[in-house]
Amino acid sequence: MDQITDRITLERAPAPQPGRRAWKMWGTLAVVLIIAGVGYLALPFGKNGPAAALPAAALPVTVSKPLQRNVDVRLGFLGQFSAVNRVELRAQVGGLLTEIHFQDGQIVHKGDLLFVIDPRPYEIRLAEAKAQLQTATARVALADTQLSRAQSLRHNDFATQETVDQRTNDQNSSQAAVEDAKARIKDAELDLEYCHVTAPFTGRIGARQVSIGGLISGSRAGASATTLLATLVSLDPIYLNFDMSESDFLVFSRERARLSGPVADEVAIGLSDENTFPRKGKLDFVDNSLDRSSGTIHARATVPNPDLFLAPGQFARLRVAVAPPASVLLLPDAAVVLDQSQHLVMTVSADGTVVPKIVETGDLRGGLRVIRTGLDASDRVVIDGLVRAIPNSKVAPQDGTINYNAAADGQG
């Protein structure tokens, strides 16, 4: 009886329910199957099942053939301006500084009065020298009279030859005293002139280094103990100094050696805040040897500066023409891609395929990059939309235009 009861109890016991983790697993699987089914049903069907995906449309890019233009061969350098004339104004006589006739930094002209050193002591010296000349002149007159009298007495045998010789010597001595007095006058006049310091040339004067009432040390010998009054520099014209590397100097020398006629020495100049090269100068000096320590050779151009805008010490970019114009290919600088150590341009073939080409570049001319090798004049180069020009991909080329900016080349 007990066995029958146990059997009935087991048969009535509820079946065990699946765990919570199992329900999660089955639910996730069901969601995945539903999404897959929806995606499958969304595909277009053909006779043999789902159709293949449609190809992506070709992306548009702007292309143009390289611009061909005759440009001369130029080398670019960084230079610094310096004054043609520069002088330290130092006192050549000593004394008290009594006058200053300029404002610091102003333009002064040749002969303008700048400083005055108290001239009174030198006026006194000049007066003394003139008095000495009068005394010496009077002695000459006396010596002439005495010599004439001695010669007359000697002619009548009333004086000896010794007396005549003595009077002749006195005359010569007095005449030498006159010449000495004249030299002293010139010396005193020169010192008096040096009391007035004038501008030796036209230029811009720096800050004064002395004040009125200061005691000035001066020497015509130019000793280091002399007082520095101010510094004066010329501004028109002005030098532009730069250094060529040995390789640039070789290009410069070889290109010029090939030319049969004279080469224009004109250089184009642009300041640090200028994108163009509007200023002109003339290359007038190349040094006779390279610096062994730096491997460079010094060169210089002279630049007109009529508006006095340029100042010594300023930096500028310059381009030196070294060969006559020749035909080159030009592209916008943005169309050239730097790939590690190589330069690439993206070209488009006749069927619209992007074909990269390795090129050798030159300097910027007219705002465009010179392409030396690696590109043909008939190539269609991507000049806009480079991000869409993936090598070996298909693109939809649209014609564009490359413009040459003559002002950026220093010719406008």
The answer to whether 371 and 363 are in contact (CB under 8 A) is: no
The answer to whether 268 and 279 are in contact (CB under 8 A) is: yes
Which of the residue ranges 2-6, 18-22, 227-231, 271-275 has the most confident prediction, judged by mean pLDDT? 227-231
Largest CA distance in the chain: 204
Task: Verify that 176 and 141 share a domain, yes or no.
Answer: yes
Task: Verify that 93 and 227 share a domain, yes or no.
Answer: yes
How many CA atoms are closer than 13 Å to the CA of 238, on its beta-carbon side? 27
pLDDT beyond 80 at 31 = no
Question: Is residue 26 assigned to a domain?
Answer: no
Task: Verify that 298 and 375 share a domain, yes or no.
Answer: no
The answer to whether 264 and 319 are in contact (CB under 8 A) is: no
Question: Is residue 19 assigned to a domain?
Answer: no
Question: Is residue 4 assigned to a domain?
Answer: no
Average pLDDT over residues 89-99: 90
Task: Identify the pLDDT of residue 265.
Answer: 77
Task: Verify that 92 and 215 share a domain, yes or no.
Answer: yes
Question: Is residue 7 assigned to a domain?
Answer: no
pTM: 0.63
Task: Identify the pLDDT of residue 37.
Answer: 44
User: What values do phi and psi take at 142, rounded to 5?
Assistant: -65, -40
Question: Is residue 315 assigned to a domain?
Answer: yes
How many CA atoms are closer than 13 Å to the CA of 276, on its beta-carbon side? 13
Domain region containing 66: 61-70+326-409
Domains of the chain: total: 3
Amino acid at 24: K
Task: Verify that 279 and 190 share a domain, yes or no.
Answer: no
Question: Is residue 15 assigned to a domain?
Answer: no
Domain final residue, candidates 195, 218, 233: 233
Average pLDDT over residues 267-286: 87
Average pLDDT over residues 250-279: 77
Task: Verify that 167 and 213 share a domain, yes or no.
Answer: yes
Question: Is residue 389 assigned to a domain?
Answer: yes
The CATH number for 104's domain is 2.40.50.100
pLDDT digits (tens, 9 = 90+) for 331-343: 998 899 888 788 9
Task: Verify that 151 and 250 share a domain, yes or no.
Answer: no
The CATH number for 389's domain is 2.40.420.20
Task: Verify that 173 and 210 share a domain, yes or no.
Answer: yes
Task: Verify that 107 and 193 share a domain, yes or no.
Answer: yes
Q: What tokens were used for 375? A: 């590109």
Task: Verify that 95 and 204 share a domain, yes or no.
Answer: yes
pLDDT digits (tens, 9 = 90+) for 298-336: 999 999 999 889 999 999 999 887 777 778 899 998 899
Average pLDDT over residues 260-271: 72
Looking only at the bridges linking them, the beta strands covering 203-205 and 228-233 are antiparallel
The answer to whether 71 and 362 are in contact (CB under 8 A) is: no
The CATH number for 254's domain is 2.40.30.170
Residue owning tokens 């009068």: 134
Q: Which residue has the higher pLDDT, 8 or 118?
A: 118
The answer to whether 170 and 219 are in contact (CB under 8 A) is: no
- Name every residue whose Cβ is closer than 8 Å to that of residue 141 and which is 6 or more positions away in sequence: none
The answer to whether 91 and 226 are in contact (CB under 8 A) is: yes
Question: Is residue 333 assigned to a domain?
Answer: yes
Task: Verify that 247 and 278 share a domain, yes or no.
Answer: yes
Domain final residue, candidates 233, 252, 272: 233
Domain final residue, candidates 214, 233, 252: 233
Task: Verify that 317 and 302 share a domain, yes or no.
Answer: yes
Split at pLDDT 50, 70, 90, the class of 85 is very high
